[in-house]
Amino acid sequence: MTQTVKIGKLAMLLASLDESERELFIDAFEQVEYCQGKAGSMEVQKVIAAVETAAKRNGIISEHVYRETHALYHAILESLQGVTRGQIGVGNMMRTVGLRFAVVRGKPYDRSEEGEWIAVAFYGTIGAPVKGLEHETFGLGINHI
């Protein structure tokens, strides 16, 4: 069963492309609901809260249904595994500089029973607590909603 709408790829493009580049994919983005944002903090908890707040404020998930928050929460955690490359517990020592994120909600599969899924992508630079130590980092998490 292949995905018709690639919500993960769309989330990655939304998180990493600059404005002029994003216009090249404008038709693809119309297939899904999405929001974007920045996570300026270096604490894992605050990064999670930033994504959840953005997703709720933009109506990507319902504020009042716990299972939607639960679905988003695990997609964020999976995405952060990519950002921290499997060392999410070390996350509190990282110094993020301009970590951008995108949350995409859509129907990746043709069969209607498969319903909606959610993708969370992060892109930015990550560093150790010592100034100057930073390079790009990426993460993608996907869940059913």
List residues binding its own copies (CB under 8 A): 1-3, 6-9, 12, 16, 21, 24-25, 44-45, 48-49, 52, 62, 64-67, 69-71, 73-74, 77-78, 81-82, 85-93, 108-109, 113-115, 117, 119, 121, 123, 125, 128-130, 132-144
Encoded amino acid at 97, one letter: V
- Give whole-number Cα distances, 105 to 72, 114, 116, 131, 134, in Å: 10, 13, 7, 36, 30
Nearest approach in angstroms of CB 69 to its own copies is 5
Nearest approach in angstroms of CB 19 to its own copies is 14
> Is 89 exposed, middle or buried (CB count within 10 Å of its CB: 0-12, 13-18, 19+)?
exposed
Q: Closest CB to its own copies among 33 and 95?
A: 95
